[in-house]
Amino acid sequence: MNPAKLLLNTLLFFQFSQISTSIDTISLSQPIKDGDVIVSSRKIYALGFFSPGNSVKRYVGIWYNQMSELTLLWVANRNNPINDTSGVLSVNIQGNLVLHERNQSTVPVWQANISDASAGNTVAQLLDTGNLVLARNDTGQTLWQSFDHPTDTVLPNMKFGWDKRTGLNRYLTAWKSPDDPGSGNFSSTLDLAGFPQMLLYKGDVKLWRAGPWTGQRFSGIPEMTRNFIFNITYIDNQDEAYLCDGLNDLSILARMIVNETGFLQRFTWSNQDHRWIGYWTAPAERCDYYGYCGPNSNCNLNLTNGFECTCLPGFEPKYPKEWFLRDGSGGCKRKPGTSTCQKGEGFIKLERVKLPDTSVAVNVDMNLGLKACEEKCLSNCSCVAYASAYAETNGGIGCLMYHGDLNDTRKYTNAGQDLFVRANAAELGKMSVLSFFLYVYYA
Q: Rounded to 5, what percent of the chain is helix, strand, coil?
A: 10, 40, 50
Please count the residues of this chain forming the interface with ligand NAG, following the rule CB under 6 A. 44
Cα–Cα dist 18/374, whole Å: 66
Cα–Cα dist 413/297, whole Å: 17
Residue 166 in contact with ligand NAG, rule: CB under 6 A: no
Smaller CB distance to ligand NAG: residue 110 or 218?
110
> Pairing between strand 142-145 and 385-390?
unpaired
28-35 contact pairs (CB < 8 A, 24+)? 28/90, 28/91, 28/92, 28/93, 28/121, 31/88, 31/89, 31/90, 31/91, 32/88, 32/89, 32/90, 33/87, 33/88, 33/89, 33/103, 34/58, 34/82, 34/85, 34/86, 34/87, 34/88, 35/85
Residue 184 in contact with ligand NAG, rule: CB under 6 A: yes
x/- track of binding to ligand NAG for residues 403-442 (CB under 6 A): xxx-x-----x-----------------------------
x/- track of binding to ligand NAG for residues 195-234 (CB under 6 A): ------------------------------------x-x-
Residue 291 in contact with ligand NAG, rule: CB under 6 A: yes
Cα–Cα dist 36/88, whole Å: 9
- Phi-psi bin for 49: left (phi > 0), alpha (psi -120 to 50), beta? beta
Q: Which stretch binds ligand NAG (CB under 6 A): 16-24, 102-110, 266-274, 322-330?
A: 102-110
Shortest Å distance, C-beta 27 to ligand NAG: 4
Q: Which of 92, 363, 393, 435 binds ligand NAG (CB under 6 A)?
A: 363
Residue 121 in contact with ligand NAG, rule: CB under 6 A: yes
Cα–Cα dist 263/278, whole Å: 12
Shortest Å distance, C-beta 325 to ligand NAG: 20
Shortest Å distance, C-beta 5 to ligand NAG: 26
Distances (CA, A) of 423 to 310, 420, 433: 16, 9, 15
Shortest Å distance, C-beta 357 to ligand NAG: 5
Residue 261 in contact with ligand NAG, rule: CB under 6 A: yes
Smaller CB distance to ligand NAG: residue 156 or 184?
184
Smaller CB distance to ligand NAG: residue 2 or 305?
305
Residue 342 in contact with ligand NAG, rule: CB under 6 A: no
Torsion angle (degrees, nearest 10) of CA 346, 349, 354, 360: 0
Q: ω before 283 within 30° of 0 (cis)?
A: yes
Binding site for ligand NAG (CB under 6 A): 27, 31, 33, 80, 82-83, 88, 101, 103, 109-110, 113, 121, 123, 137, 149, 176, 184-185, 231, 233, 246, 248, 259-261, 263, 265, 281, 291, 295, 301-302, 357, 360-361, 363, 380, 382, 403-405, 407, 413
